[in-house]
Amino acid sequence: MRVESFGNRKIEMRAYHGTLLSKADSILESGFWSSSGIDHWLGTGVYFFREDETQAKFYAERDRFRLMKKGQYRKAKSPEYDGCIFEWCETLQGEEFLNLDTKDGAVFFDKHMKATKKMLLSKGYKVETALWQWNNELFNLIPPKYTVIQRTFPVPSEKLGNHSEALFNTLMFFPILKGNRDVSAEVSSINTELIHGTQVVVRNPQRIDTTKLSWMAC
């Protein structure tokens, strides 16, 4: 039997976002705010761990863990450091979901990198391709039809609550040169507390229906 089509591809998403408990009411009333900046490795948006509430719990309590590592136990027990976890469940249409953990996703991203490099070169920039491929701005240039992007951290797992600072040196600025080669853009490595996990970024917070959110205090 010849198969003509797989039909409409849908993705069942179940993902978790950890934050401070003090922010819960604001999120439920007004929605999430996008995170942005060079240390957000998949670009601007709202970050979740896919199917892993334990990872989200760490992020909800990371400020408390840092204080405890410094021996500030009394301060760490303050209610201002209480955390909570939001659960987001949604059915995504296949054409809006970019999974960079798959071959198709990797091939798309490779083409996207090359097209971006070509665009920069056409504007007079020179790009050192060995260092720029994970830059935040590169992800922001991905077509907006992809409302959700997924990628797994390429770093080892560590025990919850006992995290060391991992140097994630793929988080960098574009190392670009224009004109005089003696003048180069800054290349910055960012120290981030990372653990192994699959993250998804929702690029438009309005994509998240807050009336369907579930949450719990840590």
Domain boundaries defined on the chain: 10-217
Torsion over CA: 202, 34, 83, 62 (sign) = positive
Structure token digits, residue 172:
């960098």
Distance CA 24, CA 154 (A): 30
- What is the average per-residue pLDDT within 32-51? 88
Distance CA 155, CA 168 (A): 8
User: What does the DSSP assignment read for 117-165?
Assistant: HHHHHHTTEEE-TTT-TT-HHHHHTS-TT--EEEEE--S----TT-PPP
Lowest mean pLDDT among 52-66, 96-110, 164-178: 164-178
- Report helix, strand or coil for 52: coil
- What is the average per-residue pLDDT within 159-185? 45
| Closest to 39 (Cα-Cα) out of 208, 147, 201, 178 | 201
Strand partners for 49:
16, 199
| pLDDT category of residue 145 using cuts at 50, 70 and 90 | very high
- Report helix, strand or coil for 174: coil
Distance CA 44, CA 138 (A): 11
Indicate yes or no: pTM above 0.85. no
Q: Is 135 exposed, middle or buried (0-12, 13-18, 19+ CB in 10 A)?
A: buried
Higher pLDDT, 47 or 163: 47
| pLDDT category of residue 195 using cuts at 50, 70 and 90 | low
